[in-house]
A and B are shown apart, each in its own frame.
Chain A
């Protein structure tokens, strides 16, 4: 079974979903990502879905799960590049993906991740007295 590649970009991980995912592939991605976050100690995950022309409830839940699990592992998740038709459909489906942060594209997503890690860093630093 093919796997979705996870790239390392500095202290962040980047996943670009380009294939039509069946459920097992989505579950595998969930597992692989959480494992990689642990291994690398990454503070941020960027998921690029600009190639997805459809996101159904299963994939939506997967994205939500990834965000939740990453947060437990002290990493922020940002989903970028959702297509307008997909966004409209998800809203109609009733999924608002409230636990998931989003950005227009990879650059914007990176900015968001960097900003959040800086805040975290300064927060942590202020605790050290």
Chain B
């Protein structure tokens, strides 16, 4: 699928989560997503950015604008933290490790069109979410 452009944002401290929200909002508005779709995607991005920061110990986000037969936006959150030992459990609503993982993953999954998670204990986590126009 031809990608129009990719940019990377670092997630090292709390204000970075705000930067992520703003950038995702800007790009999805640029791609002319409906207001509700924008809000859903920005909210998902906020949840996942926070997880990357707090649970993953910091990491990065790459934004890809997708421009094939369908227009879309893809976000890939990557960290090199402890990894998630039990993914289905983490995706369940209300699950929390005490550091705020509750409602984050499961909820974010409902707000996006495609959700992919790859995680290895001791190595890190990569979460890719996509929203189509």
Contacts and interface: CB of A to CB of B under 8 A. Distances in A.
Interface stretch (B60-68, B69-77, B100-108): B100-108
Contact of A56 (B15, B35, B36, B46): B46
Interface in B16-45: 17-18, 21-22, 25, 35-36, 38-40, 42-43
Contact of A93 (B18, B42, B50, B107): B107
A88 B35 CA distance: 11
A57 B107 contact: yes
What's the dominant secondary structure at chain B's contact region? helix
B93 interface: yes
Which of A21, A54, A86, A92 is most buried by chain B, counting CB atoms within 10 A of its CB? Answer: A54
A115 interface: no
A56 B93 contact: no
Contact of A89 (B15, B18, B43, B104): B43
Nearest to A20: B18
Q: Number of contact residues on B: which range applies? A: 20 to 34
Interface residues of A, number: 21
A88 B100 contact: no
Nearest to B110: A92
Contacts of A23: 14, 17, 50
A93 B45 CA distance: 13
Contacts of A92: 40, 107, 110-111
Contact of B103 (A21, A22, A53, A57): A57
A93 B110 contact: yes
Contact of B15 (A22, A55, A88, A93): A22
A23 B15 CA distance: 9
Contacts of B110: 92-94
B75 to A, nearest CB: 14
Contacts of B42: 53-54
B47 interface: yes
A88 B40 CA distance: 8
B46 A85 contact: no
A28 to B, nearest CB: 12
Given A57-B47, A57-B102, A57-B103, 8 more contacts: A20-B21, A22-B14, A54-B25, A54-B39, A54-B42, A56-B50, A85-B38, A85-B40
